[in-house]
Structure 1
Amino acid sequence: MSTTAFVDRIDPFAKRSLKKKTKKSQGSSRYRNSQDVELQPLPLLKDVPASEQEDLFIRKLRQCCVAFDFMDPVADLKGKEVKRCTLNELVDYITGGRGVLTEPVYPEIIKMISANLFRTLPPSENPDFDPEEDDPTLEASWPHLQLVYEFFLRFLESSDFQPTIGKRVIDQKFVLQLLELFDSEDPRERDFLKTVLHRIYGNFLGLRAF
């Protein structure tokens, strides 16, 4: 399949004639409640013995499952910064570390990615949105989402990545949820999605049909 055909197939904005889905507003239940325990920085992975790194890696992945409301720029500033720093650390950890992608971390990684990426997109302010002519609505939570996408790509591109383990958690349902995110008006997100799907299809030939 040519690159142009691939992009046309997975990016609904590449074919303007495709019917756009009706979207609902994103509920506040996705975000951290003010009554929840505030995120606290965990020790750095490089500062703990190798025997403790897997457990700490998983704890950090679970910590990054917490979503914050970026529509309120002054809410949870400390928690947002803790998560941003943790995501940056996780990107560096799987990029520079060898043997860090052990079998138990695969489902935890996909849970974290799913918790951040899979969300109800806000309704389009312009139902006839044309990415070539109209200004897009940018994703407010991009400071975190960008790092999650970066982490996802480093995970898929790692020399330690094992498709035989990955296929247990990256399945048809997961790919279909990724495809739904092409309804995002943010071009930065759609660009990441194209690259992510190329990597997934490269690792899992059986998922190319979806």
Structure 2
Amino acid sequence: MHLILIVIFAILAILALWWGARLKRERKDGVDALEQDDRLQRVDSDKAVPAPGKPSATQPDMPPTAPAPPPVAGGETIATPQPVPSAVPPVPAEPAVEPVAAAPAPPAPPVAPLAPAPAGDTLTTLKGVGPKVAAKLNELGITSFAELAALSPEQAAAIDAEMGNFKGRMARDRWQEQAALLAAGDRAGYEAKFGKLG
């Protein structure tokens, strides 16, 4: 008797497994057919989602509404049907983000427009100013002795901060003082303080 029950149970288990495998295969074939018709888009091996713009059978685009009541004779007014609440809670709208005003940038030092240096007004004449330093000063708008000599302490500090590897050389080599003497044409005063001009 026990042996018969065991055999029946084994047959039922095999039938259940076979039936489950058959249902799974039918489901997979149905999903594949929907994908080929471009009605579904596969996310992973077991799940399929509707293609963009197409409603899913389980999640329609619009919430269902209650059926409209039948017309009433005698011209009575009937209430408009109310939508049936969806099981999915509505997603709250994101709050509008106001653009944050950027902090005003510090004012750039006033830079004179690039103009050719006057004849003989070559910045490389200054002690401690070579071709690379002169080129960097030209990039920053300083092309003559007069422009260099006329810088305010704030402007000079801003220019010096932009000098990269040459930062600090303006004060150490006294470029502004040299430039002021040369801009005034005081060659003797320059050579007395800084040595003979080359």
State the TM-score bracket (shorter-chain normalisation): under 0.3
By percentage of residues, which structure has more helix?
1
TM-score, normalised relative to structure 2? 0.19
Larger Rg: 2
Greater relative contact order (CA < 8 Å, ≥ 6 in sequence): 1
TM-score, normalised relative to structure 1? 0.18
